[in-house]
Homo-oligomer: A and B are copies of this chain.
Amino acid sequence: MIIVLKPQATPEQVENLKGMIQEKKLNPVPFEGEERIVIHVLGDTREEYSKAWKALDFVENVVPILRPYKLSSKEHHALKTIVRVGDVKFGDTEFVVIAGPCSVESEEQIMRAANIIKGMGLKIMRASAFKPRTSPYSFQGLGIEGLKLLKQVREETGIMVETEIMDVRDVPIAADHVDILRVGARNMQNFDLLKEVGKVDCPVILKRGMSATVKEFIMAAEYILYNGNKNVILCERGIRTFETAYRNTLDICAVALLKQETHLPVIVDPSHAAGGRELVFPLSKAAIAAGADGLLVEMHPEPEKAFSDGDQSLYPEQLARLLKDVKRVCAAVDRSFG
């Protein structure tokens, strides 16, 4: 960490600051430039110190040199993490497609969806029992009832299931009913939830908040890892920008950067980025080409009757077509699929 002092900083102030740094058991080494004094802080610095030091009137800026994340970082953990869910491996050479409806709506709907997916050779279905909805007047999900339907799907079809978890109190029961928990974009910085999913023995898909920086995203993963759960899969799903022509702006740079910076698997949700089903095709192909390890795609047996996200859900035949495209692009970037 580097502390840049203002031009008018006095020798007393410099000494004072050195004392404060030493109190934290860190080593301050001043460096006099031509227009500014700069103090290097050696040791295990943490971001929280930076604000206290920046609080001083004679400090101009505090510049971190090291990354704030450790457990997620490739620098500290060179081997890539492979998250296993049944016989599926995330983060290895195989490419994984998770598909399914936005919500669990009924036994009939979810069984139909599972059988469609199974028929296409996929092994994991997405479907939310709990729904974060902008409006209190919108369908809020079937809740625990939905979890039970998902468990039933697993038992009857052999398809594994992935679902969103929103409330800390529901983590244990959800972990018991499904194969993968998902922390949604709106909860990426719900730190109590991150801590709870960090304590269970169930893989977690962590979606990027719609205005979270890549650094904040990795720090959210760090919370889960730090609490003991090593099976974290990162999911880019589009960020909020000024553009309104689509629901979100898929941040393909982030996919590539996350693969560079962390050892965790990275998947892409093209459906929430697109907000319309035509764009799901090009975004899915772009995700593979950019190095993603998998996709999380919305498919509904009858999108025009969906309780939520019907406009961005693929028709079953569209999913079949998408999978053919996926296979071809995977081959071009040395990934196996299907």
Contact = CB atoms under 8 A, between A and B. Distances in A.
Determine how many copies of this chain the complex contains: 4
A136 interface: yes
A74 to B, nearest CB: 12
Contact of A211 (B48, B136, B166, B211): B211
B38 A222 contact: no
Interface stretch (A60-68, A109-117, A118-126, A145-153): A60-68
Interface stretch (A84-92, A93-101, A199-207, A273-281): A273-281
A255 interface: yes
Contacts of A156: none
Interface string A167-190: 111000000000000000011011
Given A36-B65, A75-B7, A243 B286 contact: no
B46 A137 contact: yes
A325 to B, nearest CB: 8
A256 interface: yes
Interface in A14-41: 20, 29, 31, 33-36, 38, 40
Interface residues of A, number: 110
Contacts of A166: 190-192
A51 B252 contact: no
Interface of A: 2, 4, 7, 20, 29, 31, 33-36, 38, 40, 42-43, 46-48, 51-56, 63, 65-66, 68, 75, 132-140, 166-169, 186-187, 189-192, 210-211, 213-216, 219, 222-223, 226-227, 238-246, 249-257, 259-260, 273-274, 276-279, 281-283, 285-291, 303-313, 328-329, 331-333
8 contacts: A29-B31, A35-B66, A48-B138, A55-B311, A136-B227, A241-B251, A256-B279, A285-B333
